[in-house]
Amino acid sequence: MIKNDKNPYTILFGKSPILSISRASQMTDIVESFSCTPPTQQIYMITGVRGCGKTVFMTELSKELGSDKDWIVVDLNSSGDLIHDLAADLASRDSLARLFQKGKINLTVFGLGLEVEGTVPITNIQLAVGEMLENIKKHKKRVLVCIDEVNNSEAMRFFASAFQIYVRKDLPIFLLMTGLYENVNNLQNESNLTFLYRAPKVHLKPLNIGTISESYAKTFDKDQETALEMAKLTMGYSFAFQVLGYFTWKHGGDYKAALSDYRQYLEDYVYEKIWMGLSGVDRKFLNAVAGSKTGKAADIKKQLAIENNQYTPYRDRMIKRGLLNGEEHGVLRFTLPLFDEYVIRNSQE
């Protein structure tokens, strides 16, 4: 085991851990599509089940792009006034503020300072950000906006509409958003935001079991067989990789002694939230999958006494939420470790 007093794993959502497994291929694709001239994409939506690593992945992307002096990275709170907060962030940076003043962009109406004598203040926040981006473009810089856990709020819809206009005007603004499937889907269903349907989505899939095994073997000085046993317990679920590692560290490298804490933490901090967000029919469907033992469509439909036209929407919705895997034809598997047992227990309550 590594001789270090500090636990290299984290059980806090959204915090970048000391030990993590990179999604290098997906990251490279996004960085290259944003960075080329002209860019091939200006927006990506990062989706996946709770705890799959969406926030950490976006953070790594923003750090990678932000390491280039020509990129300006802005993190926005999804519950705030997004367009105003973007303007405030850009105006608060000394290097940009000087450029805006030279460009005679008067933002005093919005309480952002930058008074320019002899220049009429801009009174529309969307136009103000557009002027700022035009100025930034002249100096060959690009703005990356990161929004974590998007929702279908009025502020989000207004920002998305403004973003669409900026892109149409060929302005250097780029957008990364993370969100649960249901929240992203609700936002996309807005009639005036159809461009979001064309926005590429990054679905964060399970981590590679072999890579997890190698990481555990190195961290805890385990033999390959033991490390693989640990890795399989996570099923490639990013948060489970951290939680099992965290409690194994606390138990001096004994992963079997950590299993009780591992299960309880997943249930209390992830599975309960997922379960509470499901409808009654979705819970019933998942219970049928868990109770079928085979996961075969025929067995599930028989348990629920439903036909294929009823089965398919349930299956598709649970796959999109990241709770089930349907890659094997006619068979459904749970994607989260121990979640099938949680479903059965909670369906009996």
* CATH code for position 134: 3.40.50.300
Strand pairing report for 173-179 and 43-47: parallel
11 assigned to some structural domain: no
Distance, in Å, from the CA atom of 270 to the CA atom of 90, rounded to the nearest integer, reads 36
- pTM metric for this prediction: 0.89
295 assigned to some structural domain: yes
Same domain for 173 and 307? no
Same domain for 34 and 77? yes
pLDDT of the residue at 245: 97
CA-CA distances (angstroms) from residue 166 to 72, 159, 175, 331? 16, 10, 11, 44
In the chain, the number of structural domains is 3
The predicted model gives 164-188 an average pLDDT of 92
Distance, in Å, from the CA atom of 15 to the CA atom of 20, rounded to the nearest integer, reads 11
Work out the burial of residue 27: count CB atoms within 10 Å of its CB; fewer than 13 is exposed, 13-18 middle, 19 or more buried. Answer: middle
15 assigned to some structural domain: no
Render pLDDT for 184-224 as a digit per residue (tens, 0 to 9).
888 877 767 777 878 888 988 899 999 999 999 999 999 99
Instruction: Please state, rounded to an integer, the average pLDDT across all residues of the chain.
Output: 91
Distance, in Å, from the CA atom of 330 to the CA atom of 259, rounded to the nearest integer, reads 32
Same domain for 303 and 254? no
Strand order in the sheet with 142-147: 71-76, 142-147, 173-179, 43-47, 201-203
E strands, the chain, are 43-47, 71-76, 142-147, 173-179, 201-203, 324-325, 333-334
Rg (CA), the chain: 24
Distance, in Å, from the CA atom of 42 to the CA atom of 84, rounded to the nearest integer, reads 20
The predicted model gives 86-91 an average pLDDT of 92
pLDDT of the residue at 192: 73
Distance, in Å, from the CA atom of 209 to the CA atom of 241, rounded to the nearest integer, reads 10
Same domain for 55 and 188? yes
pLDDT of the residue at 186: 84
10 assigned to some structural domain: no
Choosing from 275, 296, 321, the residue where a domain stops is 275
Render pLDDT for 108-166 as a digit per residue (tens, 0 to 9).
767 766 666 657 778 898 999 999 999 999 999 999 999 999 988 999 999 999 999 99
Task: Return the half-sphere exposure (C-beta side, CA atoms, 13 A cut-off) of residue 224.
Answer: 2
Residue among 297, 290, 293 nearest 345 (CA) = 290
52-88 burial, b at 16+ Cβ within 10 Å, e below that, comes to bbbbbbbbbbbebbeeeeebbbbebebebbbbbbbbb
More reliable by pLDDT, 271 or 107: 271
pLDDT of the residue at 117: 60
Same domain for 60 and 184? yes
Distance, in Å, from the CA atom of 103 to the CA atom of 130, rounded to the nearest integer, reads 13
99 assigned to some structural domain: yes
Q: What percent of the chain has pLDDT over 70?
A: 96
* CATH code for position 327: 1.10.10.10
* Helix (H) or strand (E) run with residue 24 in it: helix 24-35
Same domain for 165 and 305? no
The predicted model gives 324-340 an average pLDDT of 95
Same domain for 290 and 337? yes
pLDDT of the residue at 331: 95
Choosing from 172, 203, 234, the residue where a domain stops is 203
Same domain for 32 and 103? yes
State which residues form the domain around 55. Answer: 24-203
Choosing from 143, 173, 203, the residue where a domain stops is 203
37 assigned to some structural domain: yes
pLDDT of the residue at 65: 96
Same domain for 181 and 56? yes
The predicted model gives 295-315 an average pLDDT of 93
Render pLDDT for 37-86 as a digit per residue (tens, 0 to 9).
999 999 999 999 999 999 999 999 999 999 999 999 999 999 999 999 99
Same domain for 112 and 180? yes
The predicted model gives 7-28 an average pLDDT of 85
Same domain for 69 and 172? yes
Q: Is the pLDDT of residue 2 over 70?
A: no
14 assigned to some structural domain: no
Same domain for 189 and 87? yes
Indicate the range of 105-109, 112-116, 175-179, 248-252 predicted with least confidence.
112-116
150 assigned to some structural domain: yes
3-state secondary structure of 296: strand
